[in-house]
Amino acid sequence: MKRAFGVPSWVLLVTLILTPSLAWADGAAPAGASAFDQALARGPIFAAMAAFVGGLLVSLTPCVYPMIAITVSVFGAREAKSRWQAAGLSSVFVLGIAVMFTALGLSAALSGSIFGSALSNKYVVGFVALVFLALAASMFGAFELALPAGLNNRLATVGGIGFGGAFVLGLVSALVAAPCTGPVLGGILIWIAASHRVLLGTGVMFSFALGLGIPFFLVGTFAVSLPKSGAWMLGVKWFFGVVLAVVALYFLRTTVSPLGHIAQRGTWFPVLAAVLVTTGIVLASFHVRAERRGAKRPELSKPLKFASIPLAIAGAFMLIAWTQLPKAELEWLTSEAQGRTLAESQSRPMIVDFGASWCGACNELTSHTFSDERVREEAGRFVAVRVDATDDDDPQVNVMKNKYKVVGLPTVVVLDSTGNEKARITEYVAPDKFLDAIRVVN
């Protein structure tokens, strides 16, 4: 199969398919964002697959890839007496990596409620976006994230031959690799913190660690000879840089008005976005080629790189923003008092939806559930009220949250025609499940 950026085409194809899921965050999607919300909307398995591919690609970056063969030799897989022993040692090493990264995911998920509320503050959102932009800049070569050389050398001596040594070395290797994986790892951790879902967060980090550990397992178990390091690694870093920059813009869309309204409904818009992304990828491919040994025009590398980055970022963000355009949905009132008066005077049931711009599950309800034709038809007999809880400091929002006993977002309260609560939804639910909840309400 043909290769692009020096990487097998199928790898890039799978990655590009999963890219929307990396544009997460429960402020959107990781972040995003999806941050992973697009992936999560398709199920936890899809989100885990996205993390796995992310970990695999991180292993191809210049500060991880060259260490694979050396590390495998340290924990003794090369000298194993049998294939089974080599597989065992390699598996235990990867398990050590997984334990360390999963613990990070668990910590991020447990701190999530604080993080999620903080995302309602435009200054916090701006800071998070700056973090993502800084991580993207590191992928584009502005600076390198790495532990001090002395600490790296000291950590490299930890562990040793044998299963215990392999596990300890895996734990330590995760710490050593953390700065190298920081741009991707940091993005995933921020997404986990925003989602504050413990099981999902730990599962995603475990999948990320497995993806990172796969090359170590293959080399240690089967003595696979990896391709030599080269310019193709720049393609991997370029890809992650673009994804992280897009995530930064995705966070900013809630505080920078032009970004929030950039998407247009005309068919020309996604076509233009696709052209920008394609042009950026083509220019990036020429940039990588110019970095190869013996390239005819190496001086073109940097100009091509700088030209490709804004085109790819702009096009990718435009595509993601276009996919987030809401379809036709319910007609919402913004005044709860007006909605209740209308419901009482007409003896109609009422739906009160509490959401926020930073709440990914809320956005999924809007774009997938409330826009479903069957939901709109059935909910047409309800008075629909939407309470925007993006600003936690708004006293009116707090009054409404206290009135309806809202403790987290999303929260959808379904009242019957007499004003009694009949259903309460506190997570993303598919259209069919939402229909089941409101069909029985009179």
Mind giving me the DSSP string for 202-241? HHHHHHHHHHHHHHHHHHHHH---PPPP-THHHHHHHHHH
Confidence check: pLDDT of 46 > 80:
no
Classify 67 as helix, strand or coil.
helix
Residue 298 is classified by DSSP as: G
**Percent above pLDDT 70 for the chain:** 73
**Percent above pLDDT 90 for the chain:** 27
Residues 6, 79: Cα–Cα separation, whole Å: 31
Classify 156 as helix, strand or coil.
helix
In what helix (H) or strand (E) does residue 99 lie, and over which residues does it extend? Answer: helix 83-110
- Pick the most confident of 50-59, 170-179, 253-262, 402-411: 402-411
Model pTM score: 0.56
| For residues 140-162, average pLDDT | 58
Least confident stretch, 61-65, 208-212, 387-391: 61-65
Amino acid at 220: G
Please write the tens of the pLDDT for every residue from 322-335: 877 766 667 899 99
Please write the tens of the pLDDT for every residue from 66-106: 778 767 776 666 667 788 888 888 898 889 888 888 887 78
Task: Please give the pLDDT value at position 139.
Answer: 81
Task: Please give the pLDDT value at position 313.
Answer: 95
Q: CA dist 6 to 17, 223, 262, Å?
A: 19, 22, 34
Closest CA to 351 of 329, 368, 373, 324: 329
φ, ψ of residue 170 in degrees (nearest 5) = -65, -45
Please write the tens of the pLDDT for every residue from 241-289: 898 888 788 878 777 878 878 888 788 999 999 999 999 999 999 999 9
Residues 429, 427: Cα–Cα separation, whole Å: 6
Please write the tens of the pLDDT for every residue from 367-425: 889 988 899 999 999 999 999 988 777 899 999 999 999 988 899 999 999 999 999 99
Task: Please give the pLDDT value at position 223.
Answer: 72
In what helix (H) or strand (E) does residue 47 lie, and over which residues does it extend? Answer: helix 44-58
Residues 397, 409: Cα–Cα separation, whole Å: 13
Residues 405-439, buried b or exposed e (16+ Cβ, 10 A)?
ebeebbbbbbbbbeeeeebebeebbebeebbebbe
Please write the tens of the pLDDT for every residue from 16-29: 333 333 333 333 33
- Side-by-side strand order, sheet with 383-388: 383-388, 350-355, 411-415, 421-425
Pairing type for strands 350-355 and 383-388 reads: parallel
Between residues 432 and 163, which one has the greater pLDDT? Answer: 432
Q: CA dist 197 to 105, 223, 292, Å?
A: 10, 38, 43
Q: At 178, is the pLDDT very low, low, confident or very high (cuts 50, 70, 90)?
A: low
Instruction: Please identify which residue in the block is written with the tokens 């940039």.
Output: 287
| For residues 200-228, average pLDDT | 83
Task: Please give the pLDDT value at position 31.
Answer: 35
Mean pLDDT estimate for the chain: 78
Closest CA to 183 of 135, 143, 142: 135
Residues 265, 55: Cα–Cα separation, whole Å: 35
Cα–chain center distance at 158: 32
Confidence check: pLDDT of 52 > 50:
yes
Architecture of domain 336-439: 3-Layer(aba) Sandwich (3.40)
Q: At 63, is the pLDDT very low, low, confident or very high (cuts 50, 70, 90)?
A: low
Task: Please give the pLDDT value at position 82.
Answer: 82
Domains of the chain: which residue ranges? 3-261, 336-439
241-214-41-108 Cα dihedral, nearest 10 degrees: -70
- Token digits for 141? 């070569």
Q: At 110, is the pLDDT very low, low, confident or very high (cuts 50, 70, 90)?
A: confident
